[in-house]
């Protein structure tokens, strides 16, 4: 008799479970999770369509971003660049200007980026081994959104310019390790890539801005 009552209660509980997982509480909890997941992709609207983030109401604050790229090549090619013996001229100077120009034109290249009144772009190119050229770009702005994409674009365009100028002598060059090293400012807070050691550079950049 007792056993039958226990089984009856268990069966009753099992019958209730479908109602629990289809009821308003469950649907509300499920919706909250979906909203949190959707909010991570700020360039998608509630229907999953690509859209530009509305920054109209965001505060104008100082923002800094630093990015990096590496161009790997033959040691003879890098020596030619460093010694300024390329027939086309000063590779490093041209790539530096190209990187600055690339940062300023980022919104023309990346569809959902906002046009920004950039305050400063600094692009540095230097060998880090006998066959590797490192490119560092730091971008500063006072605005409602960050300049991570501008820093990444500066590095990318500078690296592509190095390839363009040197492809006649070294078509096997590789552009790699394009990454954001650090960013400061904005609602999401500061970010420093763990292995970059770029925190001091970014901090100095923010103080100068």
User: What pLDDT is recorded for position 179?
Assistant: 97
**Environment class of 164 (CB within 10 Å of its CB; exposed 0-12, middle 13-18, buried 19+):** middle
What pLDDT does residue 45 have?
64
Q: Is 177:68 a contact under the CB 8 Å cutoff?
A: yes
Taking a C-beta distance cutoff of 8 angstroms, is the pair 152, 178 a contact?
yes
Residue position matching structure tokens 């919706």: 31
Cite the active site residues.
Answer: 164
Residue 65 near residue 122 (C-beta atoms within 8 A): no
What is the pLDDT, as a whole number, of residue 187?
81
Closest to 52 in 3D by CA, of 111, 127, 116: 111
Weakest-pLDDT range from 12-16, 44-48, 124-128, 183-187: 12-16
Asked whether the beta carbons of 165 and 149 are under 8 A apart, the reply is: no
Question: Is the CB of residue 75 less than 8 Å from the CB of residue 170?
Answer: no
208: confidence class by pLDDT, cuts 50, 70, 90: very low
C-beta of residue 78 within 8 angstroms of C-beta of residue 130: yes
Ordered structural domains, the chain, with CATH: 2-39 (no CATH), 61-208 (3.30.70.640)
Residues 6+ apart with CB under 8 A from 173: 71, 72, 73, 77, 162, 163, 166, 167
Rounded distance between C-alpha atoms, residue 44 and residue 80, angstroms: 46
* Prediction pTM value: 0.71
Kindly state the DSSP code that residue 117 receives in the 8-state scheme: -
Q: Is the pLDDT of residue 186 over 50?
A: yes
Alpha-carbon gap, residue 134 to 101, rounded angstroms: 18
CA-wise closest residue to 134 among 193, 179, 194, 192:
179
Weakest-pLDDT range from 12-16, 100-104, 185-189: 12-16
């Amino acid at each position: 008799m007792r056993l039958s009552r226990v089984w009856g209660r268990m069966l009753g509980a099992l019958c209730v479970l479908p109602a629990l997982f289809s009821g308003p509480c469950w649907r509300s909890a499920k919706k909250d999770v979906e909203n949190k997941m959707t909010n991570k992709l700020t360039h998608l609207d509630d229907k999953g369509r690509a859209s530009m983030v509305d920054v109209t109401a965001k505060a104008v604050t100082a923002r800094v971003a630093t990015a990096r790229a590496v161009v790997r090549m033959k040691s003879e090619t890098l020596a030619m660049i460093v010694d300024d013996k390329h027939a086309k001229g000063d590779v490093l100077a041209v790539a530096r200007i190209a990187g600055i120009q690339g940062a300023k034109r980022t919104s023309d290249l990346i569809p959902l980026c906002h046009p920004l009144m950039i305050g400063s772009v600094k692009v540095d190119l230097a060998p880090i081994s006998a066959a590797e050229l490192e490119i560092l770009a730091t971008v500063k702005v006072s605005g409602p959104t960050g300049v991570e994409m501008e820093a990444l674009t500066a590095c990318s365009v500078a690296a592509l310019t190095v390839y363009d100028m040197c492809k006649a002598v070294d078509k096997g060059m590789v552009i790699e390790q394009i990454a954001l090293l650090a960013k400061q400012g904005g609602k999401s807070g500061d970010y420093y890539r763990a292995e970059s050691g770029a925190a001091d550079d970014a901090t100095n950049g923010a103080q100068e801005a």
